[in-house]
Amino acid sequence: MIRTFVDAGVLIVAARTTPGPIQAAALQLLDDPARVFLSSPFDRLEVEPKAHFHRRDAEAAFYRVFCEAPPEA
């Protein structure tokens, strides 16, 4: 397994960017089954409140699913 630290910027690009090559690259990275993702608890605090404030429910759900996913061995 490849350990990959995910920054909040990657999550924002994957959730919010209009479809295109940058979003596709972010989603492909996040969908890689050969990776174990590491992130800081502060990443969630950086992205989720703003999505809730602007009532972007799908974006908030995307962040919640990523942050609550159990780490895989």
User: What is the number of domains present in the chain?
Assistant: 1
Q: What is the pLDDT of residue 23?
A: 94
User: Is 73 part of any domain?
Assistant: no
CB neighbour class for 50 (10 Å; exposed up to 12, middle 13-18, buried from 19)? middle
Dist. CA 43–CA 63, nearest whole Å: 9
Handedness of CA 54, 60, 63, 68 (dihedral sign): positive
Q: Mind listing the pLDDT tens digit for each residue in 21-48?
A: 999 999 999 999 999 998 888 999 999 9
pLDDT confidence of residue 18: 84
Local confidence band at 1 (pLDDT 50, 70, 90 cut-offs): confident
pLDDT band at 72, cuts 50/70/90?
Answer: low
Q: Residues of the chain with pLDDT > 90: what percent?
A: 78
